[in-house]
Amino acid sequence: MTLSPQFRTRGFIMTANQTTRARTTDTNDLLGIVIDALAAKGRLPCPRPFLGLQNDLDSFDISGLYLEQHPGGWVANITFEGVSPGEPNTIGTPDAAPFPTKREAFLAGAMLLCRVLTGSGKLPFFLTEDKLVVVGYGTGGFSGLFCLDRPLPWI
C-alpha cells in the first residue's frame, strides 16, 4: 500500500462547527471498527490519556468517527457527545486539505482516534486490497494466535 506524502505529514485540527449525522457521507460504524480492533489487540480498555484538546474535549465521550466528502477529496472527523451547545464538538483532519481517497482519510481518522483513546497513533490493524485485518497472539481475550478480518467499510 502506498500512501500519499501528505498522509505522513498531515496535522489534525479542531473544526468550529457542530456536526450532525445529516452532514456525513459515510454511515458505517467506523468508530466501532477501530474500537473493536484496539480491544482485540489488548490496547483497550486503558486509562484515557490527557492530550490537552481544546474545550476540554479530553473529558467527553467519543460518539463517532466519520468520513466526509469535500471538494477535492475526503476528511475524517471524530465527534464528542455532551459538549455544551454552540461549542465545537469535532476534531479531525483539515477541511482545507482533504485526502484524495476514502482509504487515506480513514487511516488518518483511525490514527487520530487511536491517539485520543490510547495516547498512541499506532493502528491496531492493516489493510489489504479489500479487507481490514487484525492479527495477534494472546490479547483481547484470545488464548492463542488469531486473525480477524472484515471488508473495508467504504467498499
Q: How far apart are alpha carbons 76 and 36 in whole angstroms?
A: 18
**What pLDDT shows up at residue 58?**
61
**What pLDDT shows up at residue 47?**
82
Q: For 27-75, write each residue's pLDDT tens digit.
A: 458 999 999 999 999 999 888 787 777 666 665 688 899 999 999 999 9
**Which of 68, 107, 2 lies closest to 79 in space, CA to CA?**
68
Find cell 460518539 and name the residue: 63
Residues sharing a CB contact under 8 Å with residue 60, sequence separation 6 or more, in sequence order: 80, 81, 82, 83, 89
**What pLDDT shows up at residue 72?**
94
φ, ψ for residue 146 (rounded to 5)?
-140, 155
Task: Label the pairing between strands 131-137 and 145-151.
Answer: antiparallel
Q: For 67-93, write each residue's pLDDT tens digit.
A: 999 999 999 999 988 888 888 888 899
pLDDT of residue 21 exceeding 70: no
Q: For 119-143, write each residue's pLDDT tens digit.
A: 999 999 999 999 999 999 988 888 8
**What pLDDT shows up at residue 14?**
35
According to DSSP, residue 52 is labeled -
pTM of the model: 0.78
**What pLDDT shows up at residue 54?**
67
Would you report the helix, strand and coil content of the chain in percent, each value rounded to 5? Answer: 25, 25, 45
Q: Kindly list the domain boundaries of the chain, sorted by start residue.
A: 5-124
